[in-house]
Amino acid sequence: MELLVTLDPADRVPLHAQLERALREDVRAGRLRPGARLPSTRRLAAQLGVSRGVVVEAYAQLHAEGYLATRRGSGTHVAHAAAAPAAARGDAPAPRPRYTFHPGQPDLSAFPRTAWLAATRRALHALPDQDLGYGTVRGPRVLREALAEHLGRTRGTAADPQRMLVCSGLIQGFTLAFAALRDAGATRIALEDPGWLGHRTVAAHTGLEAVPIPVDDHGMRVDLLDEARVDAVVVTPAHQSPMGAVLAPDRRAALLGWAQRTGGLIVEDDYDAEYRYDREPVGALQGLDPDHVLYAGSASKILAPALRLGWLVAPLALSRALVEHKRHADLGTPLIEQLALAEFVESGELERHLRRTRRRYRARRDALLDALARHLPGVRVQGVAAGLHAVVLLPEGTDEHALVAAAGARGIEIHGLGDQRFEPAGGPPGLILGYAAMPEPAIAAAIAELAELMPR
Ligand SMILES: Cc1ncc(COP(=O)(O)O)c(C=O)c1O
């Protein structure tokens, strides 16, 4: 193999280092592919007009760095592990989807940058130097009080700031709560099926056995909890994730009855309850029985997932254990973001933002319903009264997986219901269409294209 390398004897960089650099760059840029054989040291030295020692030294260095490898009998070649990045190899990058029905993602372009910046500035101005040390593990009192007032007024929680803990998103919140339950002797936790994958992954991570409880048009089948023999249950009563049902009043009562009778814990995931379009929001369960319900809320849907801000309101019995787990996780969520959120809530900006985004998401939801009625009149749509996504149930026998793949190949990102089930094929095929981040014309165009892919 001839190598296109030129060395400059006048350069102050030694010849072996010049050769090393040239070969390293050739591998990185994909000009030398993994497995490519290099000339022998003798031959390359002759080609470059340098002593053999220069090439030996360069090869040895690149060998040590992992760029080159040597096989007995076949000389030196580019190591297989030294793959160039895809862009350097000239591979086509995966096409960006033209339309994204990402479930549960708010419209990130609606993030209230100006108001958030102003809230951060005010929070920093008011922050005494000594508060920049290690803070309270639970989160600053001003934020807990602001959230308690907001949640009490808008969600009907009995949110005592003393029992509240601010966490780095609900993924951390559930991790802390499940670990505290496990420490208290819990082994089995009931989860909705279909249900949010995050609950399942956190249960696995914390060593709790997840027990699936089916969901129907009225929410979780709480009548099955007794025979499930669980220590705790996670529910999304205001807007079941993903199917969209509201937990029926008799089931709410039965669920609280189960907790009071057995001493089990209800974990109420109130992830998107602020978005309800056709009637008043259903109040949180926690307000009815704060000693048996752990309330969990998040900034991910109402503001942005990148903030990584969530909050728990725990029964007294669990409250201290949560703080201990949080202490060991990170000593507390970043303070400046928490103070900015406190300002944001107290100044009324959160309410303003919610009013604005509610209007926007409602218009998008309506556009989705119109487009589905026009282009896919045979499908059943549910869960549309609230939240940021709708569920479309596909005709029996539709290959959900194939449809998701075909849509992906056309640049339409959609998600199937199968991923949310304990058994992917354990229920009718369906799609979860997150509409919050899509302008109305894009929704109409994407659904028209999707309809063309549906088996007839
Ligand atoms: C059901 C459910 N709960 C909670 C969350 C929020 O998690 P986090 O606060 O970690 O973003 C989500 C986000 O997608 C969700 O879908």
- Per-residue pLDDT 10s for the chain (456 aa) are 667 788 888 888 899 999 999 998 888 888 888 888 999 999 999 888 899 999 999 999 888 888 888 877 778 999 887 777 766 666 666 668 899 999 889 999 999 999 999 999 999 999 999 999 998 999 999 999 999 999 999 999 998 999 999 999 999 999 999 999 999 999 999 999 999 999 999 999 999 999 999 999 999 999 999 999 999 999 999 999 999 999 999 999 999 999 999 999 999 999 998 999 987 778 999 999 999 999 999 999 999 999 999 999 999 999 999 999 999 999 999 999 999 999 999 999 999 999 999 999 999 999 999 999 999 998 999 999 999 999 999 998 899 999 999 999 999 999 999 989 999 888 899 999 999 999 999 999 999 999 999 877
Spatial distance between the Cα atoms of 313 and 296, rounded to a whole number of angstroms: 7
Question: What's residue 228's pLDDT?
Answer: 98
Q: What tokens appear for 138 in the block? A: 């639970």
pLDDT score for 81: 76
What whole-number distance in Å separates Cα of residue 206 and Cα of residue 255? Answer: 24
Token reading at 296: 């969990």
Tell me the CB-side half-sphere exposure of residue 133, using CA atoms within 13 A: 2
Ligand 1 geometric centre to CA of 49 (Å)? 64
Q: Is the CB of 242 under 6 A from ligand 1?
A: no
Structure confidence at residue 28 (pLDDT): 84
How far apart (Å, rounded) are the C-alpha atoms in residues 42 and 50?
10
pLDDT of amino acid 89: 65
Mutate to test the pocket of ligand 1, among 271, 274, 307 (most ligand atoms within 8 A of CB): 271
CA of 158 to the centre of ligand 1 (A): 22
Q: Is there an atom of ligand 1 within 6 Å of 170 CB?
A: yes
Residue 446 confidence (pLDDT): 96
Residue 128's alpha-carbon distances to 116, 119, 124, 364, in angstroms, are 20, 16, 8, 44
CA dihedral 176→188→425→453, nearest 10 degrees, is: -20
Q: In this structure, what are the phi and psi dihedrals at residue 160, rounded to the nearest 5 degrees?
A: -70, 120
Pocket test for ligand 1, best of 170, 178, 268, 341 (most atoms within 8 A of CB): 170
Q: Is the CB of 345 under 6 A from ligand 1?
A: no
What pLDDT is recorded for position 79? 87
| Residue 18 CB less than 6 A away from ligand 1 | no
Question: Is the CB of 236 within 6 Å of ligand 1?
Answer: yes
**Which pLDDT score is estimated for 258?**
98
Q: Which two tokens stand for residue 277?
A: 């379009």
Measured from the CB, is residue 420 less than 6 Å from ligand 1? no
Structure confidence at residue 210 (pLDDT) = 97
Bridge partner residues of 167 (DSSP): 310
Write down the residue that tokens 């503001």 correspond to: 303
- What is the distance, to the nearest Å, from the Cα of residue 386 to the centroid of all Cα atoms in its chain? 20
C-beta of 244 in contact with ligand 1 (< 6 A): no
CA of 260 to the centre of ligand 1 (A): 27
Nearest to 206 by CA among 226, 219, 227, 187: 187
Residue of the CA atom closest to atom 6 of ligand 1: 170
Dig out the tokens for 105 from the structure. Answer: 């993602």
